Structure formats: C-alpha cells, structure tokens
Chains A and B, each alone.
Chain A
Amino acid sequence: MSVAVILWCVASLIGLALTAIVIGRKAGASSIIYALSGVVSAAALATALVQLLATPGASSALVLPVGLPWLGAHFRLDALSSFFAVVVDLGGGAASLYALGYGRHETAPMRVLPFFPAFLAAMNLVLIADDAFTFLFSWELMSLASWALVMSHHRERDNAQAGYVYLVMASFGTLSLLLAFGILAGPDGAYAFAALRGTEHPFATTALVLALALMGAGSKAGVVPLHAWLPLAHPAAPSHVSALMSGVMTKVAIYGVIRIIFDLLGEPSWWSSMVVLALGGITAVLGILYAMMERDLKRLLAYSTVENVGIIFIGLGLALAFRANGIDWAAALALTAALFHVLNHSLFKSLLFFGAGAALTATGERDMERLGGLIHPMPWSSFAFLVGCVAISALPPLNGFVSEWLTFQAILVSPDLPQWGLKILIPAVGAMLALAAALAAACFVKAFGITYLGRPRSAAAREAREVDGFSLSAMFLLALLCLLAGILPGFVIDALRPVAELLVQGRLPDQAAIPWLSIVPIAESRSSYNGLLVFLFIAASGGLAAFAIHRLASRGLRRSAAWDCGFPDPSPITQYTAGSFAQPIRRVFGTLVFRARDHVEMPPPGSLAPARFHVDLRDLVWEGLYAPVGGFVGVAAERLNHLQFLTIRRYLSLVFALLVLLLLGLALWL
C-alpha cells in the first residue's frame, strides 16, 4: 500500500518534470513547480513516516510489469528504505520551500526546473527499488538529473570542468555497482533483491562485492579518495540543489552501501568492518582538513559533507564489527548512531547550504574573503546559519552532538571484540573521530565568523539585504528540527529500532520508557544523556544571570569605537580572513597533509615593491590518483588514435585475430 503511494509520488514528480519542460519559460512557472514538488514531497514524507512509525518492521511490496522482460520491476518499502525516504523527502520538501523564494532569482530556469522534480523522483525510486535493474536504472537517473543541475550555470568559471569530473566519476560508480550486482547475482541472473539475499558467497566474491560497492556507492557518498568530484560538483549547482546533493543524495549513496553490505551480502565478516572503519576515519579527518583550508563558503560545506560521511562510515564499520562477532545490541547501537547522523547531517547540511545560498543571493559572493559583517543586514538568516554551525560542530544541546555521542558510546564497548586488528584500529579511529569533531568546530567558527561577523570586506557585503520569507521559513524549519532532534533524541532512537532490528537483529533499550526523556543506550549506570535538561539548564542559568544583572547591577550601555588595544584600524582589510584564520591549523596539520608551504617575498630595503605572501597547497589525492589515471587515459587515447585510420582489410584482420584469441582463451579456461 505505502509503496504504491510513494510510486504515485514518483510518477507525479516525473509528470511535474515533463510539465516544467512545457511551461518552464512562463512567468510564475517556478513557483508552481516548486510548490507542487513541495506538496508531493510532503505526501511522500508522510507516507514514509507512517510506514516507519505506525507499522514498524512491516514492509510493503509491489511488482510492476516494466523493466527487464523476465523480471519486471520490483518495489519494496521496508524499515530501512522508509527511514531513508523520510530523510530524502524531508530534504526535498525543505529544498522546494526554500526554492519558492530562491528560485525566483534563477537566470536560466529551464536548466533547473525540469530536472529538480526528476532528481527528487529518482532519489525516491532508488530507495524503493527491490531488484538490481530498477536500482541501477534509478541510480543512473539520479546521477544524470543531478549532473544536469550541476551544469545549469555551465558558463560560469570551473562549472563545466566540475560537471565533466562528476560525469566521469558517476559513470565509474555506476559501473562498479553494475559489476557488484552482476557478481552477486551469479550465473543464474537472479536480479531480484529477495533472490540475492539468500545466497552464501565464497570469500573472493564477498571481498570483490564489498570493494565494488564501496567504490560505487562510496564514490557517490564522497569517501576519500573517491571524493574529488564532490567539492567541485556540489557547489556548482544552485544552492537549493547543492543542499539536496550534499544533504540528501549522499544519504541515498549511504543507503546503497547499507543495502548491499548489510542486507544483500549476508553475514558480514570482521575484516570487512576494518575496511569500512579505516575508510571512515581517514575520510572524516581529511574531509574536515580540506574544509578548513577552503575560502569558498559552498566548497567548505561540501568538504564538510565528506567529513560527515566519514563519521557515518565509522558508525557503519563498528556495526559491522559487532555484527560479525554476534554482539547484536552493540551493533544496533553503532548502526543507530550512524543512521541518526544520517538524519542529522541531512538537516544541518541542507540548512547550511540554504544559508550559503542566502548569502549568495544577498551579495553575489561565495568567497568568504569578500564577505563579512552579514549578521547586521541579515539577522534572521545569520541566526539560522548559526544554529546549523553549532549543530554540525557536535555541540550540545543540538542534534549533531547526540549522534557523535552515540558513536563514542559504541566505540567504548568495542574492547569486547576478540580480533586484534579491531582492537588496534578502533582506538585509532576513535581518536580520528575526536580530532575531526574538534576540527569541525574550528572550521565552523571560521565559516560563521568570517562570513557573518566582523566588518564587511566588499561593497557587495555592505549592501546586502535580508532574503525572502520562503527561504527564511525553510531555514527556520530545519533549525527547529535540529533543536528538536537534539533535545528529544529518544524519539529518533525509538523510530530507528525497526531498522536496527531488520539489519543487525539487535535492539536498544526502549527510550520512551526512560524517565525525564533521557537517552540510555546501554545501561543507566554506564552512560546517559538528557538533551532537554541540558538545554533547559543552559537557558535557565543564562536567563537568570542576565535577568539578575540587569535588575540588580547595571543595564547601562554606551556605543563607542572599537578598542583593539588602542590601535583600531578603520580599514576592514586588517581583519582576520579565512586564510589567516586557518593559518595555525594549516601550519600544524597542513604541512604534512597538504605539503603546505608559506612563501614570503620581502623586497630589499629601499625598494618600493610590495611584500608578497602566498601559500602552496597540494592536493595529494588528486596528484597521486586522479592525475596519473587521467594522464594514462590521455596517453592511451593518443596511442590508440591511429586505429581510427586503418583500411578495411586491416580492421577485418584485427577482428579475426581478436576472435581467435578469445576462442583460445575460452578453450584454455574450460
């Protein structure tokens, strides 16, 4: 039943995409399209929520006679896909609401309007696909729709390059997934997920599928070293699409990872968790270090997505490790932490991209070095952005803290694991997670402080105006959800129970039964956290202090010039910039990770030339992996080029030689 409703929502979104092709040029078309996308997303969200909360553990399936002729198209909505559908449609609905205001400024609506609903439809379709063909079809649809959206401003600098890299990486990802499903299905070609699920696989197959799934879905999620496209492509799109790609599409990719590794691949083994854990730890730390070095606000956010994907992978890796050793309650804890972070990241990353979009609308700038002081003309959007920054920095009482806290709790039960590899790796990954969390706080102090605080660094920032009501309401909706998920985490954990039971057969204690709305992941004596009380305590003691002081001591206030140790400088260029804020961290971490080198050119005494300073940062992942592969492809293409200009006789002999080789190979093989 509910899967049919989602399918109808998908159909309406596709219908909307086709309508947009027809009416897209008319005035007011964008309002209609975005309003209807929002309504359809809300309907799908409600359906998924009902499925997750009202009938926990149940699933709803449907087969349509399309797709492969002997297979049909299987669709199913179980606990896992309904949770992810909640994430996707919540993000989709919020993005539609935001775009009602933001989309009005679009210069090329025909490049955005048809693809936006199609993108939403494809993401929903991936979640409900229940056979390999439908999954891959929807996955590719999702990639192509988002690629079209990335290319919507293709004449801007670097965007065409971003689109090209994205297209190559997306094709590579789909190819990997195609091979993964092919190996899973075996020679019989059983492509329905139900048929894939039951079979036992030998070691080599499991290892191969794991690697292919991590390459295919992991590249979409932005796992290092396959992240290179992400910080190029996500910021290139219009901001509401950036929010969808970073906040939501990466979650669909994580859904793909979970579906294949936890569900289809059968019982996990402990070494697979080592791979996932190591990838997660490296991704988290590198992602946030890249973000710290960035001066473009949207690219900073995209790199921080890489970091958060790493955190989610750490949770998933822990869940795999526990599951492989049969400690199901701990696996449920780790998986719940990962999924909670999926929800949290989709909320605050969408919010932050909306905020970046608001700053972009108001000033036309993404470069933080040319922004500053936006808190004065844009008080509302700066407040919402601040909430997002606090949440993503994992600070209590907001939601980001809860999921990281749960991950830490899962790490603390892992000494029970018997394998030595895990015993050594998990503390190291724990340290990486802690480091990433602390660097994230530094990174978002920079993002908020440079963009919104201080004095304006350009005329555009001085003349900024607050954005429209639709954009603000979308941002405040997400900010409110960040707060609610932070102070009432028990409800989210309870909602995730059926997912944990489905995937790892473990369950956490019932959080609704715990007094005072605390959360207790393992046992009361071991750890508990109460976001609501912490929030109330802070509000009460801060409010009390302010009230008492204003009442009893003084309330006098005088405005004056800044003190600045007696050396105030009227020029805003004397402020700290994004680059100078990051300098200490660049010097400590960047010398190793980025081979960062500072160059200072001092003119000789008496010379009137200016002193110059510049920083060399090298992206070792790009230089070590992408550039050689790209270079190899270039050289190979060059070498094979002359194959285009042969005579027909030569072509025939080549074909003949190849045939003989193939037959020989076959004969030897059999």
Chain B
Amino acid sequence: MALAFDLLVQIAQMLLVLALAPLLTGLVRKTMARLQRRRGASIIQPYRDLMRLLRKEVVLAENASWLFRVAPYLIFAATWVAAALVPTFATGLLFSWSADLIAIIALLGSARFFQALAGMDVGTSFGGIGSSREMLIASLAEPAMLMIVFTLALIADSTQLSSVAAFMASPEVGLRVSLGLALIALVIVAIAENARIPVDNPATHLELTMVHEAMLLEYSGRHLAMIELATSLKLVLYLSLIACLFLPWGLAPAGSDGAALLIGAASYVAKLALGGFLLAYFETTIAKMRVFRVPEFLGAALMLGLLGTLLRFVSRGF
C-alpha cells in the first residue's frame, strides 16, 4: 500500500512538471510582455502552440537521417527523466535514489549532446553555428555546474538531491559563504543552460547571435513540439532545483501524508511563479551579450563554484 502511494506520488510529480512546464514558459513570456508595456499572448498560449504543432505534419529536410527523427524523443525523454528526479513538492520520492545530482546534470548533458548532433544533421550553416556555440557554452556551464554540485555535496555530505534538499531545510545548514557563492553561480548557469538573455535570446529567429534556436531551425511539427516541451521542462527543472536547494520551505519530507503534499504542491507552484517573474524581470533589465562575452560570464560562475568548493575543502566552517 505504501509502495503504491509512493509510486503514485512519483507519477504525480512526473505529470506535474510536464503539465506546468508550458505554463511557466507562458508566464515568463506574459510577464516580459507586460514589463515591456505590451499585452502579450495569453499565458496558456504555449499549450495551444504545442497542440497545433502536434497536429501538423512534419516537413523533413531531404537529407535528414534517422538520428534527426529520433533525437527529439531522446531529448524529451532525458530531460523529462531528469526533471522527474528533482524534488519539486516532496523529497524522498520513490525513485529519487536512482540518480543523484551529478547524474541529473549528466542526463541534461545527454539531451544537449543529441540536440547538438541534430543541429548538424541536415548540413546547413545555421545548424552548425548553433551546435558549435552550444558546445562552447556547455564546455563552461557543465564544469561550473559540477563545481556547484561539489560545494553543495560537501556541505550536505551527499550528492543525493533528496538528502541535500532535506539538509537545506534543516536548521543545521546556517548561513555560509560557500552557499552564497553557489547560489550566484547556479543562477548564472541556469540562465546559460536555458538559453535566456543575456546569453541567448529565446525569442529570436533569423539572427546571427542565436544559439539554441539555430539548432532547431530545421525542425517542424511534432518533432519541434517535443523539443519545445523539453526546453520548457528544462526551465522548470532549473527553477525547481534552485527552489529545492535555496528555498526548501514547504517541501514535504519523505513519507508524509496528503496534507503535507498539498502544502508542498502549493508552495512549489508559488516558488515557480516567483522564479518565473524574477527571470522575466531580469531579462527585461539586461541586454544580450556578444557570444564571446559569454565565456567570461560563465567563467565567473566556474570560478565562484570552484571557490565555494575550495572553501569547503579548506574548512568545514564556510
């Protein structure tokens, strides 16, 4: 019985992130539009877009290979699995032990690997430019993320995200320098990983500075829908990650009953909304960087993460 309940909670989380992902994207777009004094599309527009894309036929480039057709499903699956393993409203989910934070990061790496390959499959120059730059960004964002993971793991003595989140919610965590460094670095990495301003502009097409969108140019129909959904899921994943690590209040602990779970779900939705609003606000106030400024931006995250780790190595007190 307990197992069935746990399974239910796990499935609920998987469906919740899937259901919320387009909503969050819609919220960010709407908020940005309002901040720019536009009316903007409805907040549920991303759902409509997805449904429309799903119903359309796929227009495939003549020399697209099997990889191009398989990649969207792989990208979606890897991102979804990763998102399902991050504690959203409850810690200690049934399968939370099957992958720790390092594995979650690496799963996103798998998704990106196939994304970059798919960008090169048709053999257009835009696809190549996107893949090449995406891998440059990844080559700095991923080590930075791992350094953040190191810092957190050394504070909580675990790389298991559930344990780390539970530790963060407990009073013994306290205020630490290394946590502050990790938070700043994590925000930078999250912005870069989700292709947001100032690293990349998610609203752009036909621009030589685009990175993420350049890899998707040849996609259409259901394939594009899968990738768009994966992109939204990734944003949810990073916001959930920041929320469960740095705003762990309201998270239902392992083995809690329905009421605690409901509270957890409500606070989770509130946290996502807050995160979405802050992201939109940040994006509105800042201009996009040149591509070769991005390494400096991410290098700062890497150094902050490394500094955090180093502090933890030097003394348990930081």
Contacts and interface: CB of A to CB of B under 8 A. Distances in A.
Contacts of A186: none
Given A405-B102, A434-B147, A575-B125, A565 B63 contact: no
Contact of B60 (A390, A423, A559, A585): A559
A529 B113 CA distance: 21
Interface in A357-409: 372-373, 375-376, 379, 386, 390, 393-396, 401, 405, 408-409
Interface in B88-115: 95, 97-100, 102-103, 106-107, 109-110, 112-113
A647 interface: no
B72 to A, nearest CB: 9
A260 to B, nearest CB: 30
Nearest to A372: B123
A176 B140 CA distance: 38
A434 B189 CA distance: 14
B132 A584 contact: yes
Interface stretch (A345-353, A546-554, A626-634): A546-554
A556 B58 contact: yes
A68 interface: no
Contacts of B129: 576
A526 B306 CA distance: 21
A537 interface: yes
B106 A396 contact: yes
Interface in B157-177: 157-160, 163
Interface stretch (B1-9, B49-57, B195-203, B280-288): B49-57
Nearest to B147: A431
A525 B160 contact: yes
Given A549-B222, A564-B126, A580-B132, A390 B113 contact: yes
Contact of B124 (A431, A541, A568): A568
Among A516, A524, A560, A562, residue most surrounded by chain B Cβ atoms (within 10 Å): A562
B125 A569 contact: yes
B139 A529 contact: no
B60 A557 contact: yes
Interface stretch (B22-30, B180-188, B307-315): B307-315
B306 A423 contact: no
A565 B217 contact: yes
A381 to B, nearest CB: 13
Contacts of A533: 95, 98-99
A160 to B, nearest CB: 36
B218 interface: yes
B77 A545 contact: yes
B277 interface: no
A446 B138 CA distance: 14
Contact of B146 (A373, A434, A439, A557): A434
Given A423-B314, A541-B80, A541-B81, A453 B123 contact: yes
A339 B226 CA distance: 39
Given A525-B158, A554-B54, A545 B310 contact: no
B94 to A, nearest CB: 11
A558 B159 contact: no
A428 interface: yes
A412 B153 contact: yes
B260 interface: no
Interface in B38-72: 54-63, 65-67
B131 interface: yes
Contacts, number: 283
Interface string A585-626: 101100000000000000000000000000000000000000
B271 interface: no
Contact of B135 (A390, A441, A534): A441
A562 B122 contact: yes
Contacts of B246: none
B313 A563 contact: no
A542 interface: yes
A442 B138 contact: yes
B268 interface: no
B159 A526 contact: yes
Interface size class of A (residues with CB under 8 A): 35 or more
Given A526-B157, A562-B61, A453 B67 contact: yes
A352 B217 CA distance: 30
B136 interface: yes
Contacts of B138: 438, 441-442
A441 B132 contact: no
Nearest to B166: A525
B96 to A, nearest CB: 9
A453 B106 contact: no
Contacts of A408: 102, 146, 150, 159
Contact of B113 (A405, A427, A445, A528): A445
B228 interface: no
A372 B313 CA distance: 47
Contact of A584 (B65, B80, B291, B309): B291
B154 interface: yes
Contacts of A427: 150, 306, 309-310, 313
A581 B116 CA distance: 11
Contacts of A542: 73-74, 76-77
A644 interface: no
B131 A558 contact: no
Contact of A518 (B80, B98, B154): B98
Contact of A449 (B74, B76, B131): B131
Contacts of A561: 61-62
A49 B208 CA distance: 56
B81 A527 contact: no
Contact of B59 (A394, A558, A574, A576): A558
A405 B103 contact: yes
B131 A445 contact: yes
Contacts of A530: 97-99
Contacts of B314: 423-424
A556 B59 CA distance: 9
A396 B99 contact: yes
Given A549-B54, A564-B126, A434 B143 contact: yes
Contacts of A442: 135-136, 138-139
A326 interface: no
Given A431-B302, A553-B54, A563-B217, A438 B140 contact: yes
Nearest to B308: A427
B245 interface: no
A333 to B, nearest CB: 13
A453 B121 contact: yes
B117 interface: yes
Given A401-B103, A412-B153, A455 B59 contact: no
A450 interface: yes
A424 B310 contact: yes
Nearest to A428: B306
Nearest to B74: A542
B89 to A, nearest CB: 20
Contacts of A31: none
A435 interface: yes
A461 to B, nearest CB: 12
A426 interface: yes
A515 to B, nearest CB: 10
B160 A534 contact: no
A527 B117 contact: no
Contact of B110 (A395, A546, A564, A572): A395
Nearest to B50: A553
23 contacts: A408-B146, A408-B150, A423-B313, A424-B314, A426-B313, A428-B306, A437-B146, A438-B143, A441-B109, A442-B135, A449-B120, A454-B120, A528-B160, A534-B98, A537-B77, A538-B74, A559-B61, A561-B62, A564-B124, A564-B127, A574-B124, A576-B120, A581-B135
For the complex of A and B, list the 9 residue pairs with the smallest distance between their C-beta atoms, beginning with the closest: A576-B128, A556-B57, A454-B123, A542-B77, A449-B120, A442-B135, A434-B143, A455-B123, A438-B142
Given A424-B313, A545-B73, 9 more contacts: A376-B63, A401-B106, A408-B102, A441-B112, A453-B67, A527-B102, A527-B159, A541-B81, A588-B136
